[in-house]
Structure 1
Amino acid sequence: MRTNTELLSKLQVKQGSTAKQSDVLARIDRAGKTMINLTNTLLWLSRDDANQLASEKVYIDQLVVTLVDELTYLLDNKPVQLTVNIVPHCINTAEIPCQIILANLIRNAFQHTSEGSVVISQVGSTVSINNTCEDKILDSADLGFGLGLRLIEKIATNYHWSYREKIEGSRYQVQIRF
């Protein structure tokens, strides 16, 4: 799928395209990236040595910014104010599970906020995400987040990271400490 998308992009550049065609191609590309992320997450979790990854330097602030940039399209055409507060900080941890958790948390906040605000804060090794949620999501049994939150909980448990979630009014808050 990724190769097909890349070929379509090259063809689009050579032949030109309409804005609608460009939007469709961008959506296909993002869907492909999302599927790759989920597949990699599930494959990684199924490994017997999943929690045996070596620690390495991870610049948590840069990782947050990169993931926000990659996922901001989920806020397109929504009246949502995004605030990102970061402080440069390097931690020693396994990068893949750290990235999986942050990507899932940021994606959830962006997908499940139809209006209002998303505030992402990182201080030291702690990342907090606070977002406005729709009533129907807050009332549902799994909060509409399903598989992603279960994966986050499993990874956090495997690495002895602190993960918390809380609902206050129409705000959904999560915090992960690596």
Structure 2
Amino acid sequence: VIRSSSELLQRVVDPDNIKGNNAIARIDHASKTMADLTETLLSLGRDTHETLPLNAINVKTMIEQISENLMYLLSGKEVTVNCHLENCELTLPKTATEIIIGNIIRNAYQHTYCGSVEINLNSQILTVINKEKSSPRAPNYIEKENLDDGYGIGIKLIDKLATKLGWSYQHRALNNGYQVVLSLSD
């Protein structure tokens, strides 16, 4: 419904209406992303060993875009983000890679209130470390058992996708935060 409505709007909106056309482009992009996400999640539910479609991906660019798109999670927080990203071109399943990297960065941004998030890409290894400074707004990390205040769905999704792709994924608690290490190869 969204896809066909978007296509219809593209035909009826005046080409000179920049704001309208930009909104339609965002709707179109979001609907394609939802379709890819749904297909990826459905493939997890199947017990088959079929592989996900592969694409040439600039992982550095993907991480930069994901990080930028999630910056709203740091609004009103005293958090600095440091990125040290090497150029890295790999052939990977695009949507699954976006889901995994997006969840890792989202968790770091959501669970840092006053401190820093460090995102490193070295060869095919992504490391994300979030460090919390003492702050009355920050929860006590020693009392937290996992990265997700919600239902832990993000971590379970990362685990399942990484396992399906044969990637190494580890997360561990630090005294003042968390460290996540993801190897983007089998």
TM-score category (smaller protein)? 0.7 to 0.9
Matches for 1:141-160 after TM superposition, within 5 Å? 141-144=145-148, 146-160=152-166
Higher radius of gyration, 1 or 2? 2
Compare the two structures and name the one with the higher helix fraction.
1
Which letter maps to 2:147?
A: L
> Is the 8 Å Cα contact of residues 121 and 129 (structure 1) preserved in structure 2?
yes
**Equivalence for 1:100:** 99
Alignment match, 1:19: none
**How far apart, in 2, do the equivalents of 1:50 and 1:147 lie?**
22
- Structure 2: 5+ residue stretches without partners: 10-18, 21-26, 133-137
TM-score (norm 1): 0.73
Q: Secondary structure at the match of 2:180?
A: strand
Mapped pair 1:170 → 2:176: yes
Relative to structure 1, the CA distance from residue 46 to residue 168 in structure 2 (aligned partners, 3 Å threshold; closer, same or farther) is same
User: Which runs of no fewer than 5 residues in structure 1 stay unpaired?
Assistant: 8-12, 15-28
Query: 1:52 — aligned with what?
Result: 51
Q: Secondary structure at the match of 2:70?
A: helix
**Partners of 1:94 and 1:85 in 2: how far apart?**
23
> Helix, strand or coil: the match of 1:52?
coil
Describe the superposition over 1:95-140 as per-residue Cα deviations: whole angstroms up to 9, x where unpaired.
1111110000011111111110001111111111000254445423
Structure 1 distance, partners of 2:105, 2:94, is 16
Distance (whole Å) between structure 2 residues aligned to residue 137 and residue 42 of structure 1:
31
**SS at 2:170's partner residue?**
strand
Output the aligned Cα RMSD: 3.2
Sequence identity percentage: 28
Structure 1 pair 127–141 and aligned structure 2 pair: CA distance change class (3 A): same
Q: Is the 8 A contact 1:51 1:158 kept in 2?
A: no
Once residues 159 and 85 of structure 1 are traced to their aligned partners in structure 2, the CA distance between those partners, rounded to angstroms, is 25
Measure, in 2, the Cα distance between the counterparts of 1:154 and 1:105: 14
Counterpart residue number, 1:109: 108
Off by >6 Å, runs of 4+ in structure 1: none
Query: How many pairs align?
Result: 155
Opposite residue 165 of structure 2, the aligned amino acid is: Y
What are the superposed Cα offsets for residues 115-173 of structure 1, whole Å, 9 maximum, x if unpaired?
10001111111111000254445423333351101110111111110111122210200
Q: How far does the alpha carbon of each residue in 1:46-91 deviate from its partner, in whole angstroms, 9 at most, with x for none?
A: 2455751133211110110010111111111110011111111101
Residues 59, 89 of structure 1: 8 Å contact kept: yes
What's the secondary structure of 2:130's corresponding residue? Answer: strand
